[in-house]
Chain A
Amino acid sequence: MTDLTKDIQRLQRKAERERTARKAAEQLLNVKSLELYDALELGKKDRNKLELAIWAGNESIWDWNADEQIYELMSYPSGASEVVRTWGNTAQVVKRIHPDDRQEFITNWQLFLSDMLDSFDLLLRYRLPRDPNRTQSKEDALAQRENHELQLTAPRQLTRTDDLPTNHSPTEASRAYSPQPDTTQPDTVQPDTAQPDPQQWRWLHWRGRIVERDKQGTPTRAVGTVKDITNYRRTQESYRLMARAFASSRDAMVITDQHGHIQEANQGFQDLFKLTPARYHGRSLDEFVDMVDVAKRTLNEHGSISFETSSTQASNGNPNTASETDVGIPLEVSLNHFQPDDASHFYSIITLRDLSERNKAQQALEHMASHDGLTNLPNRGTLHEQLERMLGSASEKRPLAVMFVDLDGFKAVNDEFGHIAADLLLVSQARRLKRITPKDGLVARWGGDEFVVAWWPERRPIDADPIPSAVLKTIREPMGLHGASIRLSASIGIVETTDAEVGATQLIREADTAMYEAKAQGRNRIQVFCKGMGKAALHRASLVSELAQAIEQDQISFHVQPKFDQNQRIVGGEMLARWTSQSSGFVSPAEFIPMIEQNGLNAAFAEAVMRNGCRYARQIVAVDPAAHLAINLSGWQLLDTSLPEKLKTHCSNEQVDCKALELEITESVFLQPDSDPVSIMNRLRKKGFRIAIDDFGTGYSSLSYLRDMPLDTVKIDRSFVIDADANERAHKILSAIITMSHQLDMKVVAEGVETDGQWQLLRDLDVEIYQGFLFGRPMPFDDFLQLLKQQSSLKSEV
């Protein structure tokens, strides 16, 4: 075989191999093409599945790359059939984040891109764009990227050991991204609501992972999802709020299943019954609450009901140890049904409100409304109510008595010691009255210092019943007040009735009238009501108002009774008030002076006395510089520490020397509790006033008064003078008083000298000054002044 032949054969073999190889390659290409097609189809399907899943989950996918600093967002807007793609940059995202969340986003994003977080997972508030369908092209996103100052790239120098990045404070972030709407902002996220309010913040859940890195391991691409979970969060929040409301409600709340077995209970329930969950869970509600029948029915059916009941046990929480006398907790129960979504069964929610406090408060309110706050006695309203009820049982055999009690001199205590002390006194007296009043009786506070007692008297007539005198006696018992011992008295009016028809109002009025009568008769006494008293009371009331007017208008006139020396020469006079009422004519001082004291007219009256006294005294000394005028001071005036200055002012006004005035006081001054009349008297004397003790020998006279009191004059009470010429003992006492007074350097004045015999006797006893009808009755001032003038002119003639 030639070489040529060999070459030809070799080339043929090679050609054959090439052909065979080409066919094999073509065959391979066919197979690969088919495989490729299948793979593409499968990929498309998979991708489609993925997109459907994203669409179904209402999620969007973001794909961020570091080189371009932009992200691609793929989402399925509602109604769209295909994925919508839009591009944006991180700065555009930041701009829409709630200012409070921005820094957290920036920090997390930078940590994420620095590989310091395994994944990006963040919840934040976000404002969606106004136009939800607007998209932005990749080119626009790239262009917009240039416009933003901040590029959120990973700080390359960061490593896991570095501090957290702090290069963007929240304020910086807020400054960098103005809140103005950015019209270039692409739609980024699908809202979970069809038409979200563009002004509303949406809650977005961002998640992502790094999927690619460069040679240095620095993340270059991150992919993740973002989802609007606003509605979910709102629902969660709503559930949380409801759960918190249930847990923190102060009312006890229980959830039972349809068999009435407790499934859940809040702290309020545990507290109310003092139970731990193990003690009630699964147990029937009616073990704890007395479920009324209708409630039991409602519990087993659908419906709602509210009712009041009580717990089956006392609040000690243990039904086993609760005794039969234990009273359950009063409860207000409201019961409602609700059904879970599957509707196969239902639950009841039961709210239990502890009414104990409400009931207590209600009782307290009722008590407050019906009782006097100070003394805790029934008030007027309650008195009427209860008295009417008692009256219903009154009969001939069983009369009902009503007593009206008014404390004498209470006003003075009030003025002197103040309201608080006076209140204490009232409380104390109220307690005494309560002690005296029989159990089936009634004590009420009428008001001020007035009380009403109603009782079933045991004896008749009513004067013979022991209760009124016991009341009078108990009120007079001394009482400690600010270290002093105070003794009060009472004026008591009583009425009794056998007539069940007579009204409570009338009974109280009649008792009140009788009390006024007792007061008019000198207080500290009991007066039984009788017909006609009403008129007297009415008359007195009108007289009082007339008197008040007279004092106010200076219509009280002042007479003067002259005083004489042993030579029957006038040495001065005593000023005495006189009042002639327009309606009733002349009213005796014995009548109107107590009216002044009882009706709070003291101060105005005392002013009139002092003013007129000084005026008179000026005219008297103008005639006879040695003469003086005596005026009467009430006991309460000696309690007034400013009295010396007041009197001095009056004297100054009239330009009269204080020596021209003699101040007559009574022994009652010294009975005033906690007072210091001596210092006031000393101050009066220092100013030049002379002081006389009036009616000496009556009342509670004590020789110690003569020893201790700074007195100039002793006026012996008329009773001693009247008895002295007939009664040996009276004569001796009179003699002793006079001698003693003289030895104490006091002048003696005899009052009520009416006969020559009395005058002779008193002159023998060396009394210096005389006052009485024998020498001169009280007379109008002008007449007195005339007498004085005559005497003076005689004197000058002599």
Chain B
Amino acid sequence: MLGMIFTEMVEMIEETFSPEMADEILDEANLEHGGAYTAVGYYPFEEVVTLVSLLSQKTGMPVPDLIEAFGSYLFNSFTKSHAQLLVNKHSLFDLLDTLDGDIHKEVYKLYPDAALPKFNVVSKTDHSLEMEYRSERNLQPLALGLMKGAADYFGHQQVQIEQQPLDDGATLFRVSI
């Protein structure tokens, strides 16, 4: 998994909870590299699971909520570090529509080995959008958080997102603004 996810997560824990908690979790996680994450590196997916589980234990908050919160945090962070990706995009739907085509293409330029989820817009009107989500990691809460972060970024006051599992293991997101 991209090192950026880890560095952002550590930063979120430090900012949202406390630097001490972040230190404890990294310490307790007993990682080979001792938690020395760099944004340009790659790390096993299990480490995210370990970190989020430890955070859940310490805060008593459910794991999906934490991951969703992280998604929102992560999007907010993107708007600062990768602002060029959002040029010419004026709404959540603009973004989602070009997620696979534009955004992920740019991501691959920076991280050729990234394993990104697939997004496929199946229908779109002015106020609603249906999108299939496919990922080996099944990080639907992360996607949800990212979308909510984006909705917030674009100033959509009332956004509703429903999830519906599909037969082939994918998830259908129904987004309305």
Contact = CB atoms under 8 A, between A and B. Distances in A.
Contact of A13 (B27, B39, B41): B27
B23 A21 contact: no
Contacts of A21: 36-38, 41
Contacts of B36: 16-21, 24
B19 A24 contact: no
B41 A28 contact: yes
Residue from B27, B38, B40 having most chain A Cβ neighbours under 10 A: B38
Interface string B14-44: 0000011001001100000111111111000
A16 B34 contact: yes
6 contacts: A6-B20, A13-B23, A13-B27, A18-B36, A20-B34, A25-B39
Contacts of A14: 19, 23
Residue from A14, A19, A28 having most chain B Cβ neighbours under 10 A: A14
Nearest to B101: A215
Contacts of A25: 38-41
Contacts of A22: 38
Interface string A46-81: 000000000000000000000000000000000000
Interface in A1-40: 6, 10, 13-14, 16-22, 24-25, 28-29
Nearest to A32: B40
The interface size bin for chain A is 10 to 19
Is chain B's interface secondary structure helix, strand, loop, or mixed overall? loop
B20 to A, nearest CB: 6
A28 B38 contact: yes
The 9 closest A-B pairs by CB, nearest first: A20-B36, A25-B38, A21-B36, A21-B38, A17-B36, A10-B23, A24-B38, A17-B35, A25-B40
B19 A29 contact: no
Given A13-B26, A16-B36, A21-B38, 17 more contacts: A10-B20, A10-B23, A13-B23, A13-B27, A16-B34, A17-B26, A17-B34, A17-B35, A20-B34, A21-B36, A22-B38, A24-B33, A24-B41, A25-B39, A25-B41, A28-B38, A28-B41
Contacts of A17: 26, 34-37
B126 to A, nearest CB: 18
A24 B32 CA distance: 13
A31 to B, nearest CB: 11
A567 to B, nearest CB: 153
Contacts of B27: 13
A227 B39 CA distance: 50
A724 B39 CA distance: 170
A29 B40 CA distance: 9
Contacts of A19: 36
A374 to B, nearest CB: 100
A343 B34 CA distance: 78
B34 to A, nearest CB: 6
Contacts of A29: 40
B174 to A, nearest CB: 24
A29 B38 CA distance: 11
A582 to B, nearest CB: 132
Nearest to A13: B23
Contacts of A6: 20
A176 to B, nearest CB: 38
Contacts of A16: 34, 36
A471 B142 CA distance: 136
Contacts of A10: 19-20, 23
Contacts of A28: 38, 40-41
Contacts of A18: 36
Contacts of B34: 16-17, 20
A20 B26 CA distance: 14
B17 to A, nearest CB: 14
A10 B37 CA distance: 16
Nearest to A29: B40
A220 B104 CA distance: 22
A7 to B, nearest CB: 8
Contacts of B35: 17
A29 B37 CA distance: 14
A21 B11 CA distance: 14
Nearest to B6: A21
B98 to A, nearest CB: 9
B56 to A, nearest CB: 21
A678 B39 CA distance: 143
B40 A20 contact: no
A113 to B, nearest CB: 22
Nearest to A23: B36
Nearest to B27: A13
Interface string B62-80: 0000000000000000000
Residue from A10, A17, A20 having most chain B Cβ neighbours under 10 A: A17
B112 to A, nearest CB: 10
A20 B20 CA distance: 19
A697 B38 CA distance: 160
A14 B18 CA distance: 13
A216 to B, nearest CB: 13
Given A13-B27, A29-B40, A20 B33 contact: yes
A22 B34 CA distance: 13
Nearest to B37: A21
A19 B37 CA distance: 10
B37 to A, nearest CB: 6
B47 to A, nearest CB: 14
Nearest to B7: A21
A22 B40 CA distance: 10
B15 to A, nearest CB: 14
Contacts of B23: 10, 13-14
A14 B19 CA distance: 9
A32 to B, nearest CB: 8
B173 to A, nearest CB: 22
Contacts of B40: 25, 28-29
Nearest to B31: A17
A28 B33 CA distance: 15
B94 to A, nearest CB: 12
A21 B36 CA distance: 5
B110 to A, nearest CB: 11
A502 B36 CA distance: 143
Contacts of A24: 33, 36, 38, 41
A25 B20 CA distance: 24
A280 B23 CA distance: 98
A25 B27 CA distance: 21
B85 to A, nearest CB: 16
A525 to B, nearest CB: 126
Nearest to A25: B38
Contacts of B26: 13, 17
Nearest to A10: B23
A25 B37 CA distance: 9
A541 B40 CA distance: 138
B58 to A, nearest CB: 15
A13 B35 CA distance: 10
Contacts of B39: 25
